[in-house]
Structure 1
Amino acid sequence: MRDTILLSLALSALPALAMAEVPKVVTDMPVVQSLTAQVMGDLGTPVVLLEQGANPHSYQMKPSQARALQEAGLLFWVGPEMTPWLSRAIDAAGGKVPQIALLHSDGTHLQSYVDDDDDDHDHDDDHDHDHGHDDHADADGHSHEGLDPHAWLDPHNAGNWVSVIAAALAKADPENAATYEANAKAAQERIDTLDKDLRAELTPVKDRPFVVYHAAYGYFAAHYGLQDEGSVAFGDATDPGAAHLSALRADLKAKGVVCAFPEASHDPRPMQRLIEGTEVRLGQPLDPEGTQITPGPDLYDTLMRTIGGNLSGCLGQ
């Protein structure tokens, strides 16, 4: 209810432009830019702040990007749990940037990070919808508990965000509301097709355990019923301690892990060392945030299909 009220207030704060004018739209990450670009279509191209290959959890904006943020007519971002640097920039701008934190929009399915040391990973259970943020990081800044912000990896959330984006754009630019609505419907149909394709591809490997570099795949694994058994790095991609790696290595055999997947924007050597001397196969790198994919409306579809293809390619051997 609280998030519904906050979103309603945010939408009501968006100015309905007196004359037909497409707002200058800024986004935080390539994934959000992709979804927004699909809704905007030919009406405009949203700016993305995060540069290709950069870590979304710890990024330093350039002065030109800070100016773009201050001049934005509308900002779409995941939320402070994903990009804390942007939260600070919004505060520095005096809170004057009209913005929608998609993670907290009504209809978004939320879940907590899965504890890598928990042996009972039942992905078919109801997920934790706790919206609290205080436990997101421990004393060392490691985000391995609390709210998981990688919610776009559940395609139902992506479809919901498309609706939220369209509603906000229609409020800011009512003369083009019908276009935003039509584009959103087309984007949702594309996401539905993607979801069906991925489910068909991944169902045969649902019982094949795997580990990943970075704790980002909880939504994807839960949605498709996959056996994600842990990660080398924590949710914000910070380096783990020796005890965590030792426990994870023990899990490789205990849980029958089949594949280990490095990440596109990170050094693969920690994953290679983890599985050295075992029968675990090294899969193709995953890119959950799309930082290695060319930005644009096709990025979300490409990101999801690549993750699905890389998982099934290794697990299905």
Structure 2
Amino acid sequence: MSRQLALLLLSLLPLAAQAEVRVLTSIKPLQLIAAAVQGELGRPEVLLPPGASPHHFALRPSDVRRVQSADLLYWIGPDMETFLPRLLEGRDQPSVAVQALPGLTLRHFGEEQGGEHEHEDEHERHADEHDHDHRPGSLDAHLWLLPANARAIAARMAADLAAADPANAARYQANLAAFERRLNGLDAELKSRLAPLAGKPFFVFHQAFDYFESAYGLQHVGVFVAASEVQPGARQVAAMRERLKAAGPACVFSEPPLRPRLAETLAAGLPVRLAELDALGAEALSYEQLLGNLAEELAGCLESL
């Protein structure tokens, strides 16, 4: 009987060595990076459902339990997920604010930013569903849209996973190396695709894409901050339309899941094309696809001008 028990214990050892590390990320782009590193050894979860804003998210009790039970948790930081810091104080396991990682390239609003901004009046600006700190000097927290930052985040995840699961450290490193190779190849493709589009005019409704723009030589010429419920007054709309007229043929990008009503108003009768850019990659199955989708949407519109 003791021999049988010994054999049973030995048969369980491989399973113990491959016990899944429970990874939770705040937003999908970080989940996609974690999935590339964890590979077949686990399935990282994401806290925010598709379409939810990382700036204004109400946690359910089940979300709180997920935060408390995860082995590793990754979030952008207090400049993005303002709802998380207090909750993370009660966590016993590691929580990594990736905006604080060494080796990242960080941008701040007002630093070599493209174009001017058109804002509604103060009341309407605060009604904006994307209203968060875009004041000059504040951190631009959309840092995952720079491929070099994704590499640094992935490297930290690989190190953390190896520490949590030493038996599979080599596999995490191999997954990291494969991710870096894929990303390097994609980076070269996107530079080639987007380089001819430098200088073509486009406007955005949310200043979320500066990291991506800086990586590929693009620059928006204006930001229309659109209130989610209240249409801007006639004077504000007229000023925005003057900006579009001055630009000539241009693209105006909103973000899914909703296109601001203002977009249709601004484009009426002008040589303007409306399209979408998804910074959070709601439809992406990989981080590479998230970047590729952005490039495809930008190129698809700008090449038609």
Please, what TM-score do these two structures have when normalized by structure 1?
0.78
Structure 1 regions of 5+ residues with no counterpart?
A: 1-18, 122-137
SS in 2 for 1:163: helix
Cα distance in structure 2, aligned partners of 1:155 and 1:31 = 12
1:259, 1:315 within 8 Å by CA — same for their partners in 2?
Answer: yes
Q: 1:275: which partner in 2?
A: 267
Q: 1:252: which partner in 2?
A: 244
Q: 1:36 to 1:276 in 2, by over 3 A?
A: same
Q: 1:73 to 1:208 in 2, by over 3 A?
A: same
SS in 1 for 2:133: coil
After TM superposition, list the pairs within 5 Å mapping 1:90-239 onto structure 2. 90-91=88-89, 94-114=90-110, 142-145=132-135, 146-233=138-225
Q: 1:72: which partner in 2?
A: 70
- Describe the superposition over 1:151-185 as per-residue Cα deviations: whole angstroms up to 9, x where unpaired: 11111111111111111111222221111111011
Give runs of ≥4 in structure 1 deviating > 6 Å. Answer: 115-118, 236-241
Cα distance in structure 1, aligned partners of 2:237 and 2:97 = 34
Cα distance in structure 2, aligned partners of 1:139 and 1:95 = 32
2:108, 2:139 within 8 Å by CA — same for their partners in 1?
Answer: yes
Q: 2:51: which partner in 1?
A: 53
- Describe the superposition over 1:240-287 as per-residue Cα deviations: whole angstroms up to 9, x where unpaired: 96577665443323344611112112234222222223222222x111
Amino acid at match of 1:103: Q
Cα distance in structure 2, aligned partners of 1:194 and 1:204 = 17
1:232, 1:240 within 8 Å by CA — same for their partners in 2?
Answer: no
1:86 aligns with 2:78: no
Amino acid at match of 1:78: I
Q: 1:300: which partner in 2?
A: 287
2:116, 2:223 within 8 Å by CA — same for their partners in 1?
Answer: no
Structure 2 regions of 5+ residues with no counterpart?
A: 1-15, 118-124
Larger radius of gyration: 2
SS in 1 for 2:48: coil
1:69, 1:97 within 8 Å by CA — same for their partners in 2?
Answer: no
2:114, 2:221 within 8 Å by CA — same for their partners in 1?
Answer: no
1:314 aligns with 2:292: no
Cα distance in structure 2, aligned partners of 1:282 and 1:79 = 32
Q: 1:3: which partner in 2?
A: none
Cα distance in structure 2, aligned partners of 1:159 and 1:187 = 8
RMSD: 2.9
